[in-house]
Each structure stands twice: as C-alpha cells, then as structure tokens.
Amino acid sequence: MGKFETKKTELLRKGDLEKTKFLENIEKLILPSQVKKIQQNDKTVLKELVLPAWVDWGLLYDWASTKKIGSGKTCILCNLDAENGVFLLEKYICESCFLKIKNI
C-alpha cells in the first residue's frame, strides 16, 4: 500500500470526509498531460495546479505512479499497451500476439 492509499485510509479513519472525497476525485482535477509531468518527477507542474496545502509532492507522485497514461489499449495476452490490434470476443489482442496466434 503506497503513500496515497495510506493517507486516504488515515483520513477516512479520522472521519475527514472532505479530504477523502478530494483524494477520490483527484483524477478529475488533474489533466493527463499534468499526470505525465508528475510521473516524470517534474515539479514545475505544481505551479499549474491548485491544490490544498496538505497535498504534498510525495502524495501526488505516489498517486500519479499508479496511473497509466497511454493512447493504446492493454492486450489481454501480453499485458502491454499497443495501438494496433483487434477486438476478439470483446477482448483486445495486440497485433503481435494476434499474428503469433494466427501463425500457430
């Protein structure tokens, strides 16, 4: 359990529902481009964000490290992101895995 989950659990246990609700909805407040900057440990993004004083960089970085920002879908076979692929029975299979299966 990371720092983000620990903080969220601690606030919930203390009964601070407002802060807990903020942490649950933080994904709606931060743009994907900002999440990418946070994942790259670029602290200049703090100037762009309006956050409460109790949200520190460690908490923000821990939250962002759990988020996956990518344009592709996740393949169910290799668990990698890929932009090219097919949906088979409502499951996404990347192009390389699909070609491996096809050539068997």
Please tell me the pTM assigned to this model.
0.65
Number of domains in the chain: 2
Same domain as 59, residue 9:
yes
The dihedrals phi and psi of 49, each to the nearest 5 degrees, come to -95, 145
As a whole number of Å, the CA-based R_g of the chain is 18
Q: Which two tokens stand for residue 73?
A: 């879908």
Task: Give 56-101 pLDDT, tens digit per residue.
Answer: 999 999 999 888 766 667 888 888 888 888 888 888 898 889 899 8
Task: Give 26-49 pLDDT, tens digit per residue.
Answer: 988 998 889 889 999 999 999 999
Same domain as 88, residue 61:
no
Q: What domain range includes position 92?
A: 73-102
Position 10 scores a pLDDT of 92
